[in-house]
Amino acid sequence: MPRVIYNTATTLNGFLADDQDSLSWLFVVPGADEAESGFSGFLKGIRALVMGSTTYEWILEHESLAEHPDKWPYDDIVSFVLTSRSLPQIPGADIRFRRGGVVDLWGELNDAAGDRDIWLVGGGDLVGQFAEAGHLDEIRVSVAPVTLVSGKPLLPRRLESDRLTLESVRQAGQFAELVYSVRSAGG
């Protein structure tokens, strides 16, 4: 069965983005190249990803995908976007818009991933939905030396140390990369 991995950058105080969905604080952190090299290795093990609609719309805008659909960054990955709305499709990309519960999505997601892993891109509530459904195996966070007053939360659920085990710690530039395995609620 594929493993489900939440991999993201975060501020030191647990935000994915500021209140305006800006990542300007992230792109100025020294060491992006070191962090990026680890991330390309991670992507090789991924065949399916899941993101929420805010994240998808951020990529659409940030990469100007309406004008440059070839800039969609996840060509060999089946991409699931969770949304209750009708959002623009990117020509040539395998992007599947779905709504509803993780349990309903799981069969299709599992088939799409095949013998590789599933990347949860975010946001935090979406990852919480997977945790509640028992489909979250690993959390990999790149912690940036940044704090924000408020913003979009990393993972707005209560998971305590009986469920999270620190597996590794690595420095990449000014990022601290932490990997936690996640135990399901019953086991």
Binding site for ligand NAP (CB under 6 A): 8-10, 16-17, 21, 23, 26, 51-55, 58, 82-85, 99-100, 121-126, 129, 152
**76 neighbors 94 (Cβ within 8 angstroms):** no
Q: For the residues of 140-164, what is the DSSP string, one character each?
A: EEEEES---SS-EES--S---TTTE
**63 neighbors 72 (Cβ within 8 angstroms):** yes
Which residue, 24 or 161, has its beta carbon nearer to ligand NAP? 24
Query: In angstroms, what is the minimal distance from the CB of 167 to ligand NAP?
Result: 20
Query: In angstroms, what is the minimal distance from the CB of 80 to ligand NAP?
Result: 10
Q: Tokens 């070839």 label which residue? A: 70
How far apart are alpha carbons 54 and 82 in whole angstroms?
9
Which residue, 26 or 109, has its beta carbon nearer to ligand NAP? 26
Query: In angstroms, what is the minimal distance from the CB of 186 to ligand NAP?
Result: 22
Query: In angstroms, what is the minimal distance from the CB of 180 to ligand NAP?
Result: 16
Which residue, 58 or 113, has its beta carbon nearer to ligand NAP? 58
Name which of 17, 11, 18 is nearest 122 in CA terms.
17
**6 neighbors 139 (Cβ within 8 angstroms):** yes
Residue whose beta carbon is closest to ligand NAP: 52
**135 neighbors 103 (Cβ within 8 angstroms):** no
Query: In angstroms, what is the minimal distance from the CB of 87 to ligand NAP?
Result: 7
Which residue, 2 or 122, has its beta carbon nearer to ligand NAP? 122
